[in-house]
Amino acid sequence: MENSEKNTTSFINFAQLFKAYLKHWKWVAVSVLIFLFLGVIVYLRREEHCEVVAQVLISDEKASSASSKLGEFASLFGGGGSFGANRSVEDEMIIIKAHSVLKQTVIDLDMNLQYKVKKNLIKKEWCYYNRPIELVYEKSMADTLGVTLLFEVDVDDKGEADVVVRGRKARKIYEKKDITLPAVIETAYGTFGLEAGPGFIPGESVSEDISLCSYDKAALGLDKLIAVDYSAKKTDIMRLDLVTTNPLYGQNVLNTLVKNYNDVTIAQKRDFNYKTLQFIEDRIAILSAEVDSTEAQVEAFMARRDLVNPQAQAGIYIGRTSTQEVELVRAEAEYELLTMAIDFLGNEANNTSMLPIMPSIASLTPLIEGYNELILKRLTIEASAKGDNVALKAINAQINAVRDNLLTALNKQSETSNVEINELRRQFAKSKDKLSTMPAIEREYANIMRQQTLKEQLYVYLLRQREETEMAIVGAHPRGVIVDEAFVTDAILGMSPKVVLFTFLFLGLMIPGAIILLLWIIGKRISLMDQAVTLSGGDAVIANIPFDNVSHPAVLNDADSTEAKRVRLLRGNILTSEGLDNNLTLAVIDTCDGESSARVAYNLATAMALTGRRTLLLDADTFDNSMERLVSSRPAVLQPDGSLSGSSHIALPQNGMQLDYVTCDNHTMSGADILASVMFETAVKRLKGEYDVVVVKTPSLVNHYASVEIVNNMVDMSIATVEVGRTLKQSVRNLALLDKHDFKSYLVEVNG
Residue 2 above 60 pLDDT?
no
Peptide bond into 497 cis (omega under 30): no
Are the C-beta atoms of 696 and 587 separated by less than 8 Å? Answer: yes
- Across the range 282-309, mean pLDDT stands at 72
Are the C-beta atoms of 321 and 503 separated by less than 8 Å? Answer: no
Report the chain's terminal Cα–Cα distance, integer Å: 28
* Higher-pLDDT residue of 360, 462: 462
Band the pLDDT of 79: cuts 50, 70, 90. Answer: very low
378-392, 498-512, 696-710: the lowest-pLDDT one: 378-392
pLDDT, tens only, 547-562: 765 556 777 777 778 8
The sign of the torsion formed by the CA atoms of 726, 728, 734, 739 equals: positive
- What angle do helix axes 14-23 and 497-523 make, rounded to 10 degrees? 110
The Cα–Cα gap between 208 and 194 comes to 12
Highest mean pLDDT among 72-76, 206-210, 422-426, 497-501: 206-210
Residue 129 above 60 pLDDT?
yes
CA-nearest of 715, 718, 711 to 732 is 718
Q: How many CB atoms lie within 10 A of CB 597?
A: 29
pLDDT, tens only, 33-53: 888 888 777 776 667 778 888
The Cα–Cα gap between 523 and 734 comes to 17
Residue 528 above 80 pLDDT?
no
118-132, 193-207, 493-507, 529-543: the lowest-pLDDT one: 529-543
Residues with Cβ < 8 Å from 556, sequence gap 6 or more? 606, 652, 653
**Superfamily (CATH) of domain 529-750:** P-loop containing nucleotide triphosphate hydrolases (3.40.50.300)
- Across the range 245-249, mean pLDDT stands at 82
Q: Nearest-5° angle of CA 143, CA 146, CA 147?
A: 120
Q: What does residue 265 show for φ and ψ, rounded to 5 degrees?
A: -65, -40
Residue 65 above 80 pLDDT?
no
Torsion of CA 354, 355, 358, 359, to 10 degrees: -20
On average, the pLDDT of the chain sits at 76
Residues with Cβ < 8 Å from 177, sequence gap 6 or more? 162, 163
Query: What pLDDT is attached to residue 63?
Result: 41
- Across the range 405-430, mean pLDDT stands at 80
The Cα–Cα gap between 125 and 141 comes to 26
CA-nearest of 249, 237, 264 to 101 is 264
Q: How many helices (H) and strands (E) does the chain have?
A: 22, 23
Look at residue 588 and give its three-state secondary structure. strand
Residue 7 above 50 pLDDT?
no
49-58/160-166 β-pairing:
unpaired
The Cα–Cα gap between 182 and 435 comes to 103
Distance of CA 113 to the CA centre of its chain: 37
CA-nearest of 370, 439, 360 to 406 is 370
Distance of CA 372 to the CA centre of its chain: 112
208-212, 240-244, 602-606, 621-625: the lowest-pLDDT one: 621-625
Query: What pLDDT is attached to residue 164?
Result: 92
Rg (CA), the chain: 61
Across the beta sheet with 206-212, the strand order is 124-126, 113-118, 206-212, 149-155, 160-166, 172-180
- Across the range 479-498, mean pLDDT stands at 67
Residue 8 above 60 pLDDT?
no
Upper half-sphere CA count for residue 682 (Cβ side, 13 Å): 11
Query: What pLDDT is attached to residue 192?
Result: 92
β-pair partners for 174: 165
Percentage of residues in the chain with pLDDT exceeding 70? 76
745-750/717-722 β-pairing:
parallel
pLDDT, tens only, 333-380: 777 877 887 777 777 777 777 777 776 666 777 877 787 788 787 777
The Cα–Cα gap between 55 and 47 comes to 26
56-70, 205-219, 255-269: the lowest-pLDDT one: 56-70
Band the pLDDT of 178: cuts 50, 70, 90. Answer: confident
Q: What does residue 748 show for φ and ψ, rounded to 5 degrees?
A: -125, 120
Band the pLDDT of 205: cuts 50, 70, 90. Answer: confident
Q: What element of type H or E holds 71?
A: helix 65-76
Band the pLDDT of 512: cuts 50, 70, 90. Answer: confident
Under the phi-then-psi rule, with left for phi > 0, alpha for psi from -120 to 50, and beta for the rest, what region is 750? beta
Sketch the domain layout of the chain as residue ranges: 2-46+495-523, 113-213, 529-750
Residue 536 above 80 pLDDT?
no
- Across the range 252-274, mean pLDDT stands at 84
Please state the pTM of the whole predicted model.
0.47
Alpha helices for 132-244 (secondary structure H): 141-144, 215-225
Residue 654 above 70 pLDDT?
no
Alpha helices for 226-246 (secondary structure H): none
Are the C-beta atoms of 619 and 662 separated by less than 8 Å? Answer: yes
